[in-house]
Structure 1
């Protein structure tokens, strides 16, 4: 007897009977089972109208109209509306035999009926029965093996929901990497030529296993400067900082003098990975070096970080530097290094090292990616960005290549081999669908664009590890199940675009990207899409015109039809449609992109390139913003007191920009640069200089001010460094020689100035 009957038959016998009949014929006649499921939904909906005294069913209304009415009324929550719409839409498709996977659809509706039944029971009865957990219907005993039966109609379906059970069991009981570190290391050393280990039990997904290795919680995520696994070797991407370090090491190969190489940066910027790579792949370059990966690790529990460093670097103290032959690579965080060179050390002094570091401009706004002298080399990881600037916008060779490593279609790629193995075994989940979408070049470019935008706008540091974890997050959904057993709405909810923009709680990266969701953009192009979907009947042509990949079209087309969706169901569709258009249609994405963000990156490029015409234009734009921020009674005058005061005072302000701090980069593609625009101004005597560091949030605010926006108190609090800059800039004005006074009462201006004899002159303007 059906599990539905246990808790439904006493409150709605007819609905329970339809559920029972549906389950009985599910294997023998799935199309008839779908019809019974639709009848079940109609009985439930009709009874809701009977039980809700304050609402009346529309006269001669269809199931679509009734569900729409209850949804608008608020009687149905969004999840039940989705379930009812799934039953209704699948029932409509059943009217076209041969076009659908009927057995898979019947399985899908069986679960949706269970969801509807629970909601109906909990809302309309006070009984306290324990509702059993959901179980997929088992085939009659006289039927052939379920797996063989299903494969005849749906090749990718396996026995009785076995994949969902297997994966849930693995999620709960099996670690993501079940090998111990020792076993994993042995595997890496002995089976380096084996790209994909085929050792999973039947029903387990190889692609899911491989993608999970990208997560932060995976054993592979642990960085160790002394171990570089085969998996990390495959994912390794050469970076400029690595190539520059290799050049330094090659230059120092024959040196007999002491050499200290400082790798300076912050947590998570790849120092450990780089050192492990060199030890494994370029051992001849580092064989003469002692490598210290964490300068805060002490050789003795009685020594703190500074004492440990002093011991490690004693050969490069002022006392021994001329006679040492030590060769050391020291990976160290910027803050620790600054503390070291500004501290006093027992028994040693480090004035020559200190002088070298300050000459390198490591702690200044200047670019100091690499600096060297006779004994020292320094590499600043902070000046090696994870993306490049070009005249046509930002790109990231690093992130793009990492993405290619995971998605490219060749026999050296364990992820791709895992996909093929799963396809051979009939395993097809949203992990596989999302992975295939990510293989699309346009999608990859858009994802990388979003990553760069997040870095610029939110000041994120996204390491290789964080980026790989991000890939896992947007490929692996919350629930793993065969795609053909999922409702059309669940397919959309668990698709890559919605994992990308709707899972802000998963990581800082996804939280930043959620703020870039195209559904929040105000754009005529997005408005046109929404209007067309609401007014045009041929949704197929709208999808075909805007979505540029077949896999994404396949997710949307089952829900096509003007009279098919309403309320939350339509919301899911339109959100997914806009996001898929953004990810697969480069022209659309460009049209709806943040123009202020693009302009900021263009100006950043111009400043690093030293393009004087563009730099001059930018200085003029900032001047306009400064005068509008402070307020200006007339050309070249700026108010120096608050608007709320009884009268306003203004001084003459001749801004004197300087470009002495700009070091032009002649390369067309910029790999090392500061991610902010630095302006500098001098006083009238050229004696004092102040700088303004403009990041994207400040640039965005100043752009709005130029367009007429009036900054409020919160803006001033958020832009505290800019307010401090304005205070300094005001001191460059000429208020000692001349001032304007504006009296609000009579709306008149008066000037106060000194004549040739030093007397004050007060006259009306």
Structure 2
């Protein structure tokens, strides 16, 4: 057994990628897989529900493909199969002439005829299919599933439990920072520098016998806590910016790819690979950043000019097995990965590090947390008001007035007829009451709430991509067809603003340097005034 063979169990093409009910014989690779197993919060909740389940109960363990349902179910099915019935995969049937829906019908019929709790592993999509196509005799189950899918918790019977992987997010945003507890624990356990760790034991043996290879160098790099944190930060960016969900299977294959591909870890992260996470992370390749300092480094590298800080880094990383780095792009990726590793820090790498910082993710995390933890009190109120005033409302004002940019701060463009523009003055501000009572759950977006002249608009979902666009609009950017989804959201807000504006008693008409004011005086007459600017 060598390190490459041991790591192969992480690959999505490995027979160990999906757990099935095998016999109890354990081969060597199974023991390696058992070593890196991490118990998650959803497994803890599942075990609690399983052990306390009564005969009339159904437990649905639901999620998406690759999230770890089969791993959890197979771990407990052998132990509890005498007292509980398991339907491990609701996408399968028991014979070729039977559909998956019919297999579920049979399983629910059996359940109603015996005295055992039933545990069902099922994808969200299959839940929806069964709710529509299941047999009428199981309308009670179908109604329960529909209630779950429609978030009507009060309509779910007490003997039905739905454990959904989406309710146990892989990433968390907190005041202490952003991380993925599952990914962090898994990578740390895989690379733990202890001979009790079979992977590290193989790594250590290979380095002692034959010196470093690219694979052992990659293992050594990933064993650094700062590198682990930077890798997880890249995964978080893929989640927030590219809307790429993190499943257990995708993560394991991702780690296998960045360790076992032909290049060094820092190149593998941003290379072509048959892995959905790497495909999205490629977009964040630090070698594609263009700043004065980075471009200067690339030019100097091409000319063979080396700063003493760069030369020191090249020597230091040899202790990790990193020797033959041939391009400026590779060195930039290396510096990016090691930017927070204290033993390699010097003035030269610190200067490059500044250009690698991603303020957008930090800004989004701060605003997301403000909405999640908003208590309505002074300090938080001041911070959240700054976001609404300086970013959201300001961008809405700029976008609304893009065809009339000289309008006053409180004036909003409504329409244009024959060269005459109409506008109204509106008070647009955050709705602190709605913000305080809102439920912020998933990290992919949070709802923003604004009031226009006392009218609360519909919640506006703010993703990191929309936040970036709002910032760019405030800097003078004009949205185009490539911003289609964000523009639709902005247009919906403008429509609501215009609806409120149509109720105003005062209208401003503008053309060139002329400005007219028309006021409805108690529905009795209109007062018209104007002046030349």
Q: Do these two structures clear the TM 0.5 threshold for a shared fold by scoring above it?
A: yes
Is 1:635 matched with 2:431? no
Distance 1:604 1:225 in 2: 42
Distance 1:330 1:468 in 2: 25
Distance 2:321 2:98 in 1: 63
* Shift, 1:736, TM fit: 5.0
Local SS of the residue matching 2:334: helix
How do 1:364-513 residues align onto structure 2 when only pairs under 5 Å count?
374-423=158-207, 425-426=209-210, 428-478=212-262, 494-501=263-270, 503-513=271-281
* Shift, 1:734, TM fit: 4.0
Distance 2:519 2:212 in 1: 82
Conservation of the 8 A alpha-carbon contact between 1:395 and 1:449 = yes
Q: In the alignment, what sits opposite 1:647?
A: 420
Q: Deviations over 1:13-71 (max 9, x none)?
A: xxxxxxxxxxxxxxxxxxxxxxxxxxxxxxxxxxxxxxxxxxxxxxxxxxxxxxxxxxx
Is 1:597 matched with 2:367? no
Instruction: Tell me the TM-score normalized by structure 2.
Output: 0.82
Distance 1:325 1:738 in 2: 72
- The structure having more radius of gyration, on CA atoms, is 1
Distance 1:226 1:704 in 2: 55
Q: In the alignment, what sits opposite 1:727?
A: 495
State the superposition RMSD in angstroms: 3.7
* Shift, 1:740, TM fit: 2.4
Conservation of the 8 A alpha-carbon contact between 1:548 and 1:585 = no
Identify which of 204, 218, 241 aligns with 2:14. 218
Distance 1:720 1:675 in 2: 18
Local SS of the residue matching 1:224: coil
Q: In the alignment, what sits opposite 1:268?
A: 66
Local SS of the residue matching 2:327: helix
* Shift, 1:549, TM fit: 4.1
Distance 1:225 1:737 in 2: 72
Identify which of 106, 121, 144 aligns with 1:331. 121
Q: In the alignment, what sits opposite 2:143?
A: 354
* Shift, 1:211, TM fit: 2.3
Distance 2:317 2:302 in 1: 23
Distance 2:160 2:385 in 1: 38
Is 1:626 matched with 2:392? no
Distance 2:18 2:73 in 1: 14
Conservation of the 8 A alpha-carbon contact between 2:60 and 2:122 = yes
Conservation of the 8 A alpha-carbon contact between 1:451 and 1:513 = yes
Conservation of the 8 A alpha-carbon contact between 2:144 and 2:160 = no
Q: In the alignment, what sits opposite 2:470?
A: 702
Local SS of the residue matching 1:649: strand
Is 1:747 matched with 2:517? no
Q: Deviations over 1:507-555 (max 9, x none)?
A: 2222211111112224465356557768996544433269864446952
Q: Which moved more, 1:331-340 or 1:381-390?
A: 331-340
Distance 1:615 1:372 in 2: 36
Q: Deviations over 1:321-340 (max 9, x none)?
A: xx985412222222332344
Q: Which ranges of structure 1 fall in alignment gaps of 5 or more residues?
A: 1-197, 199-205, 479-493, 560-571
Local SS of the residue matching 2:10: coil
* Shift, 1:759, TM fit: 3.4
Q: Deviations over 1:170-226 (max 9, x none)?
A: xxxxxxxxxxxxxxxxxxxxxxxxxxxx4xxxxxxx122222332222222233366
Distance 1:661 1:262 in 2: 33
| 1:681/1:664 CA distance change after superposition, 3 Å | closer
Q: Deviations over 1:584-613 (max 9, x none)?
A: 121664662221121011211222223542
Distance 1:555 1:645 in 2: 70
* Shift, 1:702, TM fit: 1.0
Q: In the alignment, what sits opposite 1:584?
A: 338
How do 1:524-535 residues align onto structure 2 when only pairs under 5 Å count?
526=294, 529=297
Conservation of the 8 A alpha-carbon contact between 2:217 and 2:322 = no
Distance 1:216 1:300 in 2: 27
Distance 1:225 1:736 in 2: 68
Conservation of the 8 A alpha-carbon contact between 2:250 and 2:276 = no
Conservation of the 8 A alpha-carbon contact between 2:375 and 2:436 = no
* Shift, 1:382, TM fit: 1.2
Q: Which ranges of structure 2 fall in alignment gaps of 5 or more residues?
A: 25-29, 341-349
Distance 1:495 1:344 in 2: 51
Distance 1:305 1:654 in 2: 56
How do 1:95-244 residues align onto structure 2 when only pairs under 5 Å count?
198=1, 206-224=2-20, 229-244=30-45
